[in-house]
Amino acid sequence: MSQIADLNSIHVGSSPKFNMYGCEFGLGKAVAARSGHTNKGDGKITMSPGREGGTKSVKMESCVYMLPRESDGR
């Protein structure tokens, strides 16, 4: 994806159709949900419904690679 995306682009992704907190594997309800390593990238923002569900909460992850921003001399 980095080959087709501009360096200054922002990626936003998630699926509201998958209930991450509704899955029950016999260990109780999930306390937190995180995206995996393959879903990380500079400028990537992942948003999904929060643990409370509905419109009460939103879970957001943002990935920003800091080295270029720290070394630009500003």
Q: Write down the domain spans for the chain.
A: 11-70
pLDDT of residue 27: 85
Instruction: Give Cα 15 distance to the centre of its chain.
Output: 11
Summarised one tens digit per residue, pLDDT across range 12-28 is 555 667 677 777 788 88
d(CA 23, CA 30) in angstroms, rounded, equals 8
Question: CA 66, CA 10: separation in Å to the nearest integer?
Answer: 15
Q: pLDDT class for 62, splitting at 50, 70, 90?
A: confident
| Residue count (the chain) | 74
For residue 1 the two structure tokens come to 């994806």
pTM here?
Answer: 0.51
Mean pLDDT across 28-47: 76
Q: How far apart are CA 37 and CA 23, in angstroms?
A: 21
Instruction: Tell me the H-state helices in 30-71.
Output: 67-70
pLDDT score of 37: 73
